[in-house]
């Protein structure tokens, strides 16, 4: 009888441990999220043009992710899908700032294979709850199982591991968003908060460095720490230790910096062979 009880106890222990073991064994293909989980910081360049060559150059130059800009650029979903596919083996993960927390914007983005969603102008818990709902498959959300290139990019097991790989980040851009940031952070499935440096100033009429402005940033920082969320901001804020996700310059800005550096360095001597830098 004692042996039977021991066997039963062992069986029950394995039964209750199975979900935890399954969770631990989830394949994490989102290398940017893996770095965050390891306590590292991640940086992404901003993509505003539809040229796959430029996208691939940025995706293979050292960035952890690319911030594909679909709120303030003419980029369409077909443009973005082609760029992601053209550089599908690049180390930089495809993230998108969508135009809004709508089913169409978010579900199209994740169907393209995007693994990070920045949601702009979040002023309420309801907005970010919608974003989580549309980004995640059931039971965590209501993402429908449609077509797309996500399986070809990330594997046939995508359906079972997508929720664990996709990041959803709420952008706090206004005083109202700051006022409600605790409610926003409390939404189940939110992975991070992003302090939108430019629009915090634009909506408030304040400038970085002013006590009132910095108080808004400090409130976002405090709430992110309280809810154990990752915190994002501009690359210029890498000197702020609480931040771990950074938006880098745009493709056009990087091109300008590259030209300025090329002219300043004025290479001399043996000329490079044409095409050797591709």
**pLDDT (tens digit, 9 = 90+) per residue, 144-202?**
998 899 999 999 999 999 999 999 999 999 999 999 999 999 999 999 999 999 999 99
Q: What is the pTM of this model?
A: 0.87
Domain ranges of the chain: 29-262
Rounded to an integer, the average pLDDT of 19-23 is: 42
195 CB-near residues (< 8 Å, 6+ apart): 172, 216, 217, 220, 221, 231, 232, 233, 237, 243
pLDDT confidence band for 275 (50 / 70 / 90): low
Which residues are the active-site residues?
72
Mean pLDDT score of the chain: 91
Statement: residue 6 has pLDDT above 70? no
- pLDDT for 55-93, tens place per residue? 999 999 999 999 999 999 999 999 999 999 999 999 999
Judge whether 172 and 194 are in contact, CB under 8 Å: yes
Name the residue with tokens 């006590």.
211
**Matching CATH number, 29-262, of 3.30.2090.10, 1.10.10.60, 3.20.20.60, 3.40.50.300:** 3.20.20.60
Residue percentage of the chain with pLDDT more than 70 = 89
């Amino acid at each position: 009888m004692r042996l039977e009880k021991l066997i039963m106890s062992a069986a029950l222990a394995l039964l209750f441990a199975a979900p935890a073991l399954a969770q631990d064994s989830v394949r994490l293909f989102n290398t940017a999220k893996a770095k965050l989980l390891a306590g590292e910081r991640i940086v992404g360049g901003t993509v505003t043009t539809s040229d796959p060559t430029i996208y691939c150059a940025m995706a293979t130059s050292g960035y952890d992710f690319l911030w594909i800009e679909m709120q303030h650029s003419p980029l369409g979903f077909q443009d973005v899908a082609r760029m992601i596919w053209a550089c599908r083996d690049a180390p930089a993960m495809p993230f998108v700032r969508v135009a809004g927390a709508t089913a169409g914007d978010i579900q199209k983005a994740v169907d393209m294979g995007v693994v990070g969603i920045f949601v702009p102008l979040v002023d309420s818990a309801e907005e970010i709850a919608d974003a989580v709902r549309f980004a995640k498959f059931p039971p965590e959300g209501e993402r429908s199982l449609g077509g797309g290139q996500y399986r070809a990019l990330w594997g046939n097991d995508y359906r079972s591991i997508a929720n664990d790989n996709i990041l959803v980040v709420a952008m706090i851009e206004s005083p109202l968003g700051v006022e409600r940031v605790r409610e926003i952070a409390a939404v189940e499935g939110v992975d991070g908060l992003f302090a939108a440096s430019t629009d915090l100033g634009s909506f408030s009429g304040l400038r970085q460095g002013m006590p009132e402005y910095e108080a808004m940033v400090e409130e976002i920082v405090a709430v992110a720490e309280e809810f154990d969320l990752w915190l994002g901001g501009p690359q210029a804020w890498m000197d702020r230790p609480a931040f771990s996700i950074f938006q880098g310059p745009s493709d056009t800005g990087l091109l300008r910096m590259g030209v300025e550096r090329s002219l300043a360095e004025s290479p001399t001597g043996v000329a490079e062979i044409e095409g050797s830098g591709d």
